[in-house]
């Protein structure tokens, strides 16, 4: 029996399994956060360009597109919404796999569930399944996979195909075929987000579309390659250095990884979070004003140093991948959410001045703990000579220091109300978090066709 055979058995058996209320609650949190990330991305320039690019293919179908009143096919909705959900950098993280599961998994499952007119409860169950399969794959291929590949684009195809297999009611062999077919289309290179491009979020959209397509082909009887993960010329051999396949089912069935998600507290790359947390801790504990700062010294792990190295960023993309900028924004603005990446913030003289005082180096202890722990060591030196230190041993939002339901809801409202207004935002949150007897179409009807007028008014 291959690895994907066993995952196929899990998907089939899950169709006759009742998930606990706690597990479903965590899936609701993921679905709520996916909506927040997607609506935040829906008004971006990249989202506008994406919808324009495929405008000729919109207008027919049953599925909703964020930021558009036009409907689309399920596959097109999976691709566009999967991309849009990753644009604003607010999507969830599976820390141990350096992976954002919501964008590919939920985007594909939501499109299929809307097309099939399924209840939200069924969608939530598919999220549990898709997260479980893909996070386990992501975890055992790190950290070597992350040296060159974008896990959300590569492993995301397994999350989307598993979730869609569940929704289609595929048997074990068919689900295995779906995942193995999806896996051969896994792609996404890290170079795509080491420059100011719009390509990175398309990795997530591609993974969502591929997974949905693969599940549909498996339902029609097309066969895949069962040993695609561990085969001699398979996914592991090509895209990792020594995948730990022997550990992929450790603790399988004991708990679900959807309960161990990281939800972002900031609107930027997650590798900046420990340093932002640490700076915020020191500023608040010692009542430091940014004007008192002489230097901020940060020690981080390898991806922080390599991926978040932009200085004095000129665009929102660069700013979101800039450790120095995000730390400075936290010091000056008090938080690192949407307003930190508007033009007035990018050109704010105080943020620029503080950023000049930030240095970043690789810390061997922080590096040794990646990816299980995302840590940072921060030292703030004041003009008067005082020096304060803090070792941030996790990120606020990680499973060992999770966002509360209220914090997650506050984030949702901050991102969604400018797009939907107060009434629709509260209605959407209520429908997601109290989803008994609610159809997926009830959710999309709330946000389908939302324009950016409220967004423009809010920020101007």
pLDDT digits (tens, 9 = 90+) for 95-128: 999 999 999 999 999 999 999 999 999 999 999 9
Q: Which long-range contacts (CB under 8 A, 24 or more apart) does 420-427 make?
A: 420/39, 420/446, 420/447, 420/450, 420/454, 421/454, 424/450
One-character DSSP codes across 246-307: GGTTTTTTTS-GGGG-B--SSSS-GGGHHHHHHHHHHHHHTT--GGGEEEEEEEE-HHHHHH
Q: Would you state the structure tokens that stand for residue 96, as one six-digit string?
A: 């141990």
Domains of the chain in start order, with CATH, are: 3-260 (1.10.4100.10), 270-392 (3.30.1330.120)
- The residue to which tokens 């690019």 are assigned: 53
In contact, 36 and 415? CB cutoff 8 Å: yes
pLDDT digits (tens, 9 = 90+) for 1-26: 999 999 999 999 999 989 999 999 99
Count of CB atoms within 10 A of residue 389's CB?
11
Sheet holding 293-300, edge to edge: 358-362, 293-300, 376-382, 387-392
Query: Would you tell me the crossing angle of helices 3-14 and 120-140 to the nearest 10 degrees?
Result: 160
Contacts of 92 (CB under 8 A, 6+ apart): 30, 33, 34, 37, 100, 101, 102, 261, 262, 263, 264
The whole-number pLDDT of residue 225 equals 97
* Residues forming a β-bridge with 315: none
Give per-residue burial for 232-242: e unless 16+ CB within 10 Å, then b: eebbbeebbee
Least confident of 178-187, 278-287, 335-344: 335-344
Mean pLDDT of the region 38-43: 95
Confidence of residue 194 (pLDDT cuts 50, 70, 90): confident
User: What does pLDDT average to over the chain?
Assistant: 95
User: CA–CA separation, 460 vs 455, rounded Å?
Assistant: 9
> Quick check: 176 pLDDT over 90?
yes
Helices (H), 323-363: 323-333, 343-346, 349-355
Tell me whether the omega of the peptide bond preceding residue 264 falls within 30 degrees of 0, making it cis.
no
Among the listed residues 82, 73, 92, the one whose alpha carbon sits nearest the alpha carbon of residue 47: 82
> Quick check: 293 pLDDT over 70?
yes
In contact, 63 and 79? CB cutoff 8 Å: no
Count of CB atoms within 10 A of residue 305's CB?
19
pLDDT digits (tens, 9 = 90+) for 414-444: 999 999 999 999 999 999 998 777 999 999 9
User: CA–CA separation, 183 vs 163, rounded Å?
Assistant: 14
* Residues forming a β-bridge with 94: 99
């Amino acid at each position: 029996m291959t690895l994907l055979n066993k995952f196929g058995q899990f998907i089939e058996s899950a169709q006759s399994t009742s998930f606990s209320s706690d597990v479903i609650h965590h899936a609701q949190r993921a679905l709520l956060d996916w909506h927040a990330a997607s609506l935040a991305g829906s008004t971006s320039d990249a989202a506008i360009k994406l919808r324009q690019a495929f405008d000729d293919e919109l207008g027919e179908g049953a599925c909703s597109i964020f930021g558009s009143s036009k409907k689309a096919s399920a596959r097109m909705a999976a691709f566009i919404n999967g991309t849009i959900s990753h644009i604003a950098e607010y999507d969830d993280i599976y820390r141990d796999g350096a992976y954002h599961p919501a964008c590919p998994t939920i985007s594909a499952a939501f499109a299929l569930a809307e097309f099939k007119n399924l209840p939200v409860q069924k969608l939530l169950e598919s999220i549990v399944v898709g997260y479980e399969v893909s996070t386990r794959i992501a975890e055992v291929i790190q950290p070597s996979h992350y040296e060159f590949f974008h896990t959300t684009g590569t492993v995301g195809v397994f999350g989307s195909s598993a979730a869609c297999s569940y929704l289609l009611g595929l048997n074990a062999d068919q689900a295995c075929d779906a995942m193995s077919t999806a896996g051969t289309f896994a792609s996404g290179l890290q170079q795509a987000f080491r420059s100011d491009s719009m390509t990175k979020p398309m990795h997530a959209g591609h993974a969502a579309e591929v997974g949905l397509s693969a599940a549909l082909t498996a339902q029609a009887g097309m066969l895949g390659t069962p040993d695609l993960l561990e085969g001699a010329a398979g996914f592991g051999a090509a895209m990792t250095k020594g995948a730990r396949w022997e550990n992929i089912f450790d603790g399988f069935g004991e708990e679900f990884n959807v309960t161990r998600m990281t939800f972002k507290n900031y609107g930027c790359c997650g590798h900046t979070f420990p340093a932002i947390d640490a700076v915020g801790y020191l500023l608040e504990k010692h009542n430091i004003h940014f004007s008192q700062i002489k230097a901020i010294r940060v020690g981080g792990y390898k991806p922080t140093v390599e991926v978040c190295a932009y200085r004095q960023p000129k665009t929102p993309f660069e700013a979101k991948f800039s450790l120095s900028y995000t730390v400075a924004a936290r010091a000056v603005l008090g938080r690192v959410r949407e307003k930190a990446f508007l033009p007035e913030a990018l050109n704010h003289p105080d943020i620029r001045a503080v950023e000049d005082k930030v240095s970043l180096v690789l810390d061997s202890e922080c590096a040794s703990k990646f990816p299980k722990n995302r840590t940072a060591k921060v030292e703030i030196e004041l003009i008067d000579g005082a020096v304060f230190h803090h070792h941030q041993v996790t990120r606020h939002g990680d499973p060992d220091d999770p966002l509360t339901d209220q914090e997650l809801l506050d984030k949702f409202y901050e991102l969604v109300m400018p797009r939907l207004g107060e009434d629709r935002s509260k209605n959407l949150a209520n429908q997601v978090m109290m989803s008994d007897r609610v159809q997926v179409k009830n959710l999309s009807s709330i946000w389908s066709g939302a324009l950016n007028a409220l967004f423009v008014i809010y920020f101007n």
